[in-house]
Amino acid sequence: MTVQSIGSAAAAETTLRAAAANAGLFFGVAASPGRLTSIVGQEFNQLTPENDMKPATIATSSGALQNTGNADTLVNYAQSNNMLVRGHTMVWHSQAGALQGASQATLNTFIGNALNRWGNRIAYWDVVNEALGDNNTGSRRTQWPHTLNRDANGDGDFFDTGDTDVIRDSFIRAKQVVQAGGLTTKLCINDYDVEGLTVQGGTPNRKANALYDIVRNYRQYIDCVGFQAHFNDNPNSIITNDLQANIQRFADLGVEVHITELDIDDDLSNNDIGAGQAENYRKVVRACLNVAKCTGITVWGIADSESWRSSERGLLFTGGSGNYQKKAAYTAVLDELNKGRVPVNPTSPASTTTPPTTPPTTPPVTPSVPPTTPPNPTPGCSATVSLNSWTGGFVATVKVTAGSAPINGWSVQLTLPSGAAVTNAWNANRSGSSGAVQFGNVSYNGRLNAGQSTEFGFQGTGAAGNLSPVCTAS
């Protein structure tokens, strides 16, 4: 997919937050009130409470709120420093505190109280955290709150109308609260070891596939997906070359994708926290930048010494207690952010032959027979559709390809069958929602060189049937 290039001749930014903002994403940090030193507001434009919004801290057994002082401090700090806030987290098997063993009704009460307490001051909330089991099984966890799940028809999933699913039911409640309160808060699901399409050795990442199925089935409730990105030498936790492809796969469902808890174990660079670790950070940041709907990266702490994985030296700074030193990884991240978003499928660069600076000494000879001038190729484009369908809905990905000449813009018309309707679209402007629907390029993906492609997508309700796109170039 082609995304906008931000690079220019302007001077490079000198902080992570400024460089990220120029590239169209946030770059954040997890922190506690005791670590709100000047570097937080200086370097980061998003803040995640590391522990102070977890149920063990703020939930009572009835789903009411308590002990919100530290969370309030973090939210107020973020507002004062023009930072987004990610709420973390509502429904989780770990650090549940007094909510441990609660019913869905009590979880729903807590979800409502947490959303309403901070309202739009929180841009993103992790509604459900770490719902899938370890060891690449692709299965749901079996401990509470997933003991609330019931597979009513015995088909092996929890997606059917008669099933009980704590994931679905929690997101439904969260969406109800957001809509009732007119909130802009986006609702996320967050997990680890879901970053690549594969794990070590090329085995399919079944955990990532299971998360994909959840998001696809519950897309109407889920706005964003968090890849925790605690990278280490566990076979299921390495940085694979298909990280970007997996980010793109989720983005094509129409959700925002975030790297939410990033740290990179020095074991992945043979204990080198210099150039080796820097290159690993560069790979991860670039994978996000290359996908338009990857809209944020958050590191899980400031300095190695303050990390929950301090012995693995996985963050961007050394030092501590407000006295921090930038690592090579910091410089690599800043450099990638300053490069901005670039095309995933760039075409071959044009010829760089330097024109002559002086005229030729002899005039050109006029041929006795005029040469035959080939006609200019007519601008044109083609479009193909791939569908991901389920009962009651679908996601379509449309690939637009320029013909034998460059184009400056495109539009695609699709006719939906009766009963089908478009609910949202990405990487395209849309006119209409049913019947004949028109899609047009946005600012960053209209200009295509000959043979170059771009993609847009849309989600719909009903059955898509067989779609035949008609592409018109300008």
455 assigned to active site: no
Tokens of 384: 């193909």
Query: Residue 410's closest CA among 389, 441, 435, 384?
Result: 441
CB 396 within 8 A of CB 369: no
In degrees, rounded to 5, the angle at the alpha carbon of residue 121 between the alpha carbons of residues 117 and 124 is: 95
50 assigned to active site: no
Q: What is the DSSP string of 96-137?
A: -GGGTT--HHHHHHHHHHHHHHHGGG-SEEEEEE--B-STT-
| 104-118 and 166-180 helices, crossing angle to 10° | 40
CB 119 within 8 A of CB 188: no
Task: Indicate which residue of 50, 130, 336, 455 is catalytic.
Answer: 130
Task: Indicate which residue of 43, 195, 256, 261 is catalytic.
Answer: 261
Tokens of 401: 């390809």
Widest pairwise Cα distance in the chain: 96
Query: Residue 426's closest CA among 395, 403, 448?
Result: 395
DSSP-based three-state secondary structure for 85: strand
Question: How many angstroms separate the CA atoms of 184 and 204, rounded?
Answer: 35
State the catalytic residues: 130, 261
